[in-house]
Amino acid sequence: MRIAIVNDMRAAGEALRRVVESIPGHALAWTASDGVEAVAMARRDRPDLILMDLLMPHLDGAEATRQIMANTPCAILVVTATVSGNISLVYDAMGFGALDAVDTPNLGSGGELTGAGPLVEKIGMIAKLVGGPAAAPRVRQPAAAVGSPRLLVVGASTGGPKALCDLLLPLPQEWNAAVVIVQHVDAAFSAGLATWLTDRTGRSVRVARPGQPPQAGDVLLAGTNDHLVLTAGGGLEYRAEPREIFFRPSVDVFFESVAAHAPKTGVAVVLTGMGRDGARGLAALRTKGWHTIAQDEATSVVWSMPKAAIEAGGVTEVLPVGRMPSVISARLG
């Protein structure tokens, strides 16, 4: 991949350059010292991946991400001095289309590089995503299912946090349905994402606990790097298998478990995202009589996941995210 670096700190930029040039098969495309320069550079020479800092002069990384994804979209990884210290901006950037976030490696006074491992791992994962999605999974499930409230199940990836806000905010505060969300996000950020969604929607969004059965009014978020599944007993569990699935947690794995075990039909939604995760699972739910919705291209940051679901024949209707709440409420209210 051709990788660009956006960072206003000389030491941080040098650390990132060393990381990029140390990974076989990757090359430095260009560097920018602030968001304004990054937007202009991306327009002139779109790279495969941008390593985007957050706190910069003139234009911060979240707004630069928004402008780049609107004009010259490409994979963006937030790389900032402290992810936990800038968590609100991190989720703003992810809402605009950043794929993930990681702390910046350190360059010591003697020139030694430390803390590069997590960044190298993230770049490797994104390289697989950009180069081609992993095969959609098949999940073996027991046939039996027990009672539970009607479900709204949602899968999202790139640009998902903002789309989830737009989806959740207008839904009824009290209704006889539960919401379960699988958003592609590292386990380290899932609790922060739940808090971020709670703050912006006024709903109590919680990370799903192992063994927890979805209850009416719940809004639950997959919270580990294992796959979330609905079990035959009606509870939610995290499972490492299938280990070969690139997306963790996988929307397909979750949707297929719901298709196998939910005793009542509900509504399933695939929102904005890169790749094909969710296409096969949505088709399985539609076969079982679920109402299935894909986000339209105009309101998606990246239309790959909804498009793949449409092409797989799993979509009942295609809607802008702003129209989804009224349709869902009519179906589940």
Q: Which of 184, 227, 261, 291 is catalytic?
A: 184
Percentage of the chain lying above the pLDDT 70 cut: 95
Q: What's the pLDDT score for residue 112? A: 85
Question: Is 257 noted as a catalytic residue in this protein?
Answer: no
**Mean pLDDT calculated for residue range 242-253:** 92
Residue of 34, 92, 148, 157 marked active site:
157
Of the residues 60, 92, 166, 277, only one is catalytic, namely 277
CATH 3.40.50.720 is held by the domain 2-131: no
For the segment(s) 150-332, the CATH number from 3.40.50.80, 3.40.50.720, 3.40.50.180, 3.40.50.360 is 3.40.50.180
Regarding predicted confidence, which is higher, 142 or 324?
324
Q: Please, are residues 46 and 76 in contact by the beta-carbon 8 Å criterion? A: no
**Residue 220 pLDDT > 70, yes or no?**
yes
- Domain-by-domain residue ranges, the chain? 2-131, 150-332
pLDDT at 109 over 90: no
Instruction: Kindly report, residue by residue over 15-56, the tens digit of the pLDDT.
Output: 999 999 999 999 999 999 999 999 999 999 999 999 999 999
To the query of whether residue 157 is one of the catalytic residues in this protein, the response is: yes
- Cα 166 to Cα 64, 170, 260, 325: the distances in Å are 21, 7, 29, 9
Checking if the pLDDT of 132 tops 70, the result is: no
Mean pLDDT throughout 278-306?
97
Q: Mean pLDDT check: name the lowest of 20-34, 56-70, 118-132, 232-246.
A: 118-132
The answer, yes or no, to whether residue 77 has pLDDT greater than 80, is: yes
d(CA 164, CA 167): 5
pLDDT at residue 120 above 90? Answer: yes
Q: How many CB atoms are located within 10 Å of the residue 294 CB?
A: 27
Residue 333 has pLDDT above 80, yes or no: no
Give the pLDDT score at 148: 65
Averaged pLDDT for residues 319-327: 97
Mean of pLDDT values over 298-323: 97
Report for 89-103, 132-146, 278-292: range of highest mean pLDDT: 278-292
Q: pLDDT averaged over the chain?
A: 91
d(CA 166, CA 239): 30
Asked if the domains 2-131 and 150-332 are classified in one and the same CATH topology, the answer is: yes
Instruction: Assess whether pLDDT exceeds 80 at residue 210.
Output: yes
**Mean pLDDT, residues 274-299 taken together:** 97
Which of 108-112, 135-139, 311-315: highest mean pLDDT? Answer: 311-315
- Helical segments of 110-186, H only: 117-131, 160-168
- Is residue 135 pLDDT above 60, yes or no? no
pLDDT score at 129: 79
Q: Work out whether strand 227-230 and strand 236-239 pair parallel, antiparallel, or are unpaired.
A: antiparallel
281: left (phi over 0), alpha (psi -120 to 50) or beta: alpha
